[in-house]
Structure 1
Amino acid sequence: MRRLIPTSLRARLALVFGVGTSVVLLLALSLLYVVLDHELAEAVDQDLAARSDDLVAAVRTHDLGAVHGDPMAQLYGADGVPIVTAAAIRGQLLLTPGQVHAVRGSTFGDGTLPPRDTGSPMPLRLLSRPVGSTGQVLTVALPLSAIDRAGARQLIVLAVATPVLIIALAALGWQLLRAALRPVGELTRQAAAISSLDSDRQLPQVPGDDEFARLAATLSGMLARLSVAFERERAFVDDASHELRTPIAVLRGEIDLALAAVDDPAEVRESLIAAQGQVIRLGRLAEDLLLLARERAGTLVVLRTPVDLTDLAHSEAAVLSKVKSLTIETYGDPAPVEADTDRLRQVIGNLAANSAAAGATTARVTVTADRAHVRLQWADDGPGFPPALLDSAFERFVRGDAARSATGGAGLGLSIVRAIVTGHDGTIDIRNGPPLGGAVVSIRLPVGRPGTAGPDRHAPVPTTPPD
């Protein structure tokens, strides 16, 4: 059965259109034939009624010649015997005596006229009615042969016209479908010709504002977005390859130096220490790339536990101030959140590293809370973000000025910060300006349940930053 159904959408639509049109056309023509047949029958009855009225009026004035001159009429007496017969049917009876006696009012009926010598009986349409109160009955008749021939001709015309109309409508429907689906065929050919997302070819524009035009515009927009994503992924691979190439090259050089100086323990030790540093750098880069990949795939694991964000910021500031040559001030009241403590430490550490790389000497962490969110603001006194990078600072492998690049960072710090904040259902934005005049990073996290954070393990934290 499936083999009989065409696979082409155009063919299926044409088939449905043809079948539906044929059914509707057949029903319409059948109804037309019935209506025409009914109209012919009505016309016959009206003609009989008009003739009967004229003849009754003539009989009542004793003008029996009108009956004799009628094409097909007969006047019967009360005994059922014909009194006057039309000349065309002389010697023949339209009604039998029994049928005459059965007439009570104007009665239409079908009958036959017996054959004369040869031939077959003639079908008739009859109208019989009493004439006055004398018991006389007048019958007028009309042969149905002409009516039957007219009906037959109508049937022949409809039988010939029906397949012609069906074929014409099917051909017209096919052409309309072909014209309507032509943009789809063109889109299909152009899409098949686009071999990859780096191709410069674009889908053709479909004129108008119909469904196909909107489909073409939507597909073109989708291709443009995919092309941008493809370019970003390719740039990501290129940048990742570049970042991996440098430590691998240094690592290989240090190993070669160690092998060449195998008799000099001090030189070997120095090379191994340098190689160890590059391995650590590679491991950190691999972990960062893995975190970003998981965030993009929606599989970043966030272990939510009760934590006081102000307490965490204070403890991390004390540690980071010693290793980053950066004075970090913390301010805020207790602000409980449900978050991954290690990930939040990574956020604060990356922000500190970013400020230190920019040349800042002081950073300020301010934690505030309302009924729905906890807000952490990181501000430094550095030069701030370059204006050209404010819109792309969270992209992977994006670095600022030469001061930032000289530290050898991979440009993933803020990308990781955003990934972690997003994984906590939070938001992040950046700007330059107050309170210290440098970069400002604002993070908002959903507030945790009251009383869930652990006890304060550090010295009291100032609640209000200085002016």
Structure 2
Amino acid sequence: MPALPRSLRARLTLVFGVGTSVVLLVSLTLLYAALHRQLDGAVNADLAGRSADLAASVRAHDLTAVRGDPMAQLFAADGTPVQSSAALAGRRLLSPAEVRAVHRTKVTDARVTLRPGDAPTPVRLRSHPVGGGQILTVGQPLDAIDRAGSRQLIVLAVATPLLIAILIAIGHRLLRAALRPVDMLTSEAAAISTVDPGRRLPPVPGDDEIARLAATLDAMLSRLAVAFARERAFVDDASHELRTPIAVLRGEIDLALTAIDDPAEVRQSLLAAQSQVARLNRLAEDLLLLARERAGSLAVYREPVDLADLARAEVRTLAPINGLSFEVRGEPVITEADAGRLRQVLANLAANSAAAGATEVRVTVAAAQESATVEWADNGPGFPSGLIDSAFERFVRGDASRTAPTGAGLGLSIVRAVAAAHSGSADLRNGPPLGGAVVTVRLPAT
């Protein structure tokens, strides 16, 4: 089996050509059959009309009409010709046996020699009784019909290939015009690279499938460009955050090496380096958590957790570390969650509140019909107005009033990531109950 063309345009042209050829051949065949049937019908109608007229004349005992007909013959019951057309010149249309076999109207095709020396001519004969045992036979030569059918076949044999070729050429041009935007989109898409992520596909006029495809692909490129910009910003921010502790760590190690004879100086440098290592470790863990959340592989180990009891236990640990005054409100609320991840959420929120200068925090646990909520509110200055919409993004910091000197801007991103891993959500605002920042974490209710 020959291989199909690789080009979509060539395959569509091939399918269009084959389909057009089949339809055209079937249509022309039906047309030829209809024309042939129409000619046969005209011959039969002519024979029926002539036969009726001649039968009326015979019944009126007027045989001159039979003699004047182009091809007619009246037979006696024994098959003897009674009257014949002058054109027959003594030749018979039916044999005696054929005459005796006619008992009702009978139409047959035969070959009759009309002139001496001529080849037999195909004729159609219509025979029927006319009374008194006589049989009237009327004939019509079929050579005109045969010639007309031959001419039709010649015309169809010549016209069909030309029509097929013309239709295929038209179809090819139409397909080429229809697929030209696809070629344009393909070349433009191949030219787009990460070096020029802002480049877009050219618009395709109209509202057909290709135009909608072009608009969809262009929108997809816009989303990919935004995602690429975010990932590049993430890499830049991560590199910036890593550079500072690494530089400090290297400086402390160099200082310790130069002061190798001074144990106190070496100890101080090692302690400073240890704090920078801890900072690097926290940053790496936070980045790993966010990367896993973005890939959908952040693991949470669900078990029944009382949110109010967990909050009370955690604030007792966080109070001396962050210097905050905590108040926990709410009845026991049980949900399926990862207690370790929830403690990480509370620790990040406490660090943010302490960095903002807050002194009081109220944690409110509540249960709704479809969710359990943990509301964290402090009495700090709140989120800057320009930060409300982007505070959950990675490496986003506010002004100096809400930014710790060593913070990486990942705390709220981790809060949202942990909530999303539990199939929950997180949002923030400023205002009551303490007038500062308010972060609400919603988890599915059990």
Give TM-score scaled by structure 2 length: 0.97
- 2: CA distance, partners of 1:18 / 1:52: 50
Deviation at 1:186, TM superposition (A): 1.0
The equivalent of 2:26 in structure 1 is 27
Shift of 1:342: 1.3
Which has the larger displacement, 222-231 or 416-425?
416-425
Q: Paired residue for 1:302? A: 300
Show the counterpart of 2:444.
Answer: 446
CA distance in 2, matches of 1:309, 1:289: 26
Q: Which runs of 5+ in 1 are unaligned?
A: 449-467
> How far off is 1:196 after superposition?
2.1
1:36-94: CA deviation from partner (whole Å, max 9, x where unpaired): 11111110011111111121222223322221111111111222111111111112000
Q: What are the Cα deviations for residues 410-436 of structure 1, in whole angstroms up to 9, with x where unaligned?
A: 000000011111111111110000000
Letter in 1 for 2:405: T
The sequence identity of aligned pairs, in percent, is 66
The 2-side partners of 1:50 and 1:411 are apart by: 106
Q: Secondary structure at the match of 2:409?
A: coil
User: Aligned to 2:390, what secondary structure does the other structure show?
Assistant: coil
Deviation at 1:104, TM superposition (A): 1.5
Name the structure 2 match of 1:292: 290
SS of residue in 2 equivalent to 1:263: coil
Quick one: which amino acid aligns to residue 414 of structure 1?
L
Give CA deviations for 1:217-267 in whole Å, capped at 9, x if unaligned: 110110000000000000000000000000000011111111111111111
Whichever residue aligns with residue 344 of structure 1, its letter is: L
Who is 2:45 aligned against?
46
- Which letter does structure 1 place at the counterpart of 2:181? P
For 2:111 and 2:306, the matched residues in 1 are separated by 111
User: Which residue in the other structure is 1:463 paired with?
Assistant: none
2:146 aligns with one of 145, 148, 153: 148
* Cα distance in 2 for residues equivalent to 1:334 and 1:446: 15
Q: Deviations over 1:101-143 (max 9, x none)?
A: 11122211111214654332111100112122x1111111111
Q: Which residue number corresponds to residue 456 of structure 1?
A: none
Aligned AA (1:385):
F
Displacement after TM superposition at 1:176 (Å): 1.4
| 8 Å CA contact 2:356, 2:403 repeated in 1 | no
More divergent stretch after superposition (338-347 vs 194-203): 194-203
Paired residues of 1:321 and 1:327 also in contact (CA < 8 A): yes
Residue 383 of structure 2 contacts residue 437 of structure 2 at CA under 8 Å; is this kept in 1? yes
Partner amino acid, structure 1, of 2:40: A
1:94 and 1:112 in contact (8 A); partners too: no
**Contact 2:383-2:398 within 8 A present in 1 as well:** yes
Distance apart, 1:306 and its partner CA: 2.0
**What SS does the corresponding residue of 1:395 show, helix, strand or coil?**
coil
Mapped partners of 1:99, 1:397: distance in 2: 111
- Say if 2:59 is the partner of 1:60: yes
Over 3 Å off, 4+ runs: 114-117
Alignment correspondent of 1:138: 136
Q: Which amino acid aligns with 1:78?
A: A
Distance in 2, matches of 1:306 and 1:137, equals 110
Distance verdict in 2 for CA 1:258–1:309, change over 3 Å: same
Superposition deviation, residue 155 in structure 1:
1.2
Identify the range of structure 1 (399-408 vs 277-286) with the bigger mean alpha-carbon deviation: 399-408
In the TM superposition, residue 405 of structure 1 has moved relative to its aligned partner by 3.1
- Alpha carbons of structure 1 residues 294 and 197: separation in structure 2 relative to 1, 3 Å: farther
Query: What pairs with 1:300-379 in structure 2 (closer than 5 Å)?
Result: 300-379=298-377
Q: Cα deviation per residue 1:331-385 (whole Å; 9 max; x = unaligned)?
A: 1111112211111111000000001111111111011123432211000011111
Counterpart in the other structure of 1:460: none
Q: Match of 1:141, as an amino acid? A: G
Structure 2, unmatched stretches of 5+, are none
Equivalent residue number for residue 90 of structure 1: 89
1:163 aligned residue: 161
3-state DSSP class of the match of 1:437? coil
Aligned-residue offset at 1:403: 2.6
- Shifted more, 55-64 versus 86-95: the winner is 55-64
Give the Cα separation in 2 of the matches to 1:80 and 1:250: 133
Per-residue deviation, residues 278-336 of structure 1 (Å, max 9, x unmatched): 00000000000000000011111111122211111111111211111211111111111
Range 431-440 or range 302-311, more displaced = 302-311
The whole-number CA distance in structure 2 between the counterparts of 1:406 and 1:322 is 18
Q: Which amino acid aligns with 2:7?
A: S
Deviations 1:159-181 (A, max 9, x none): 11111111111111111111111
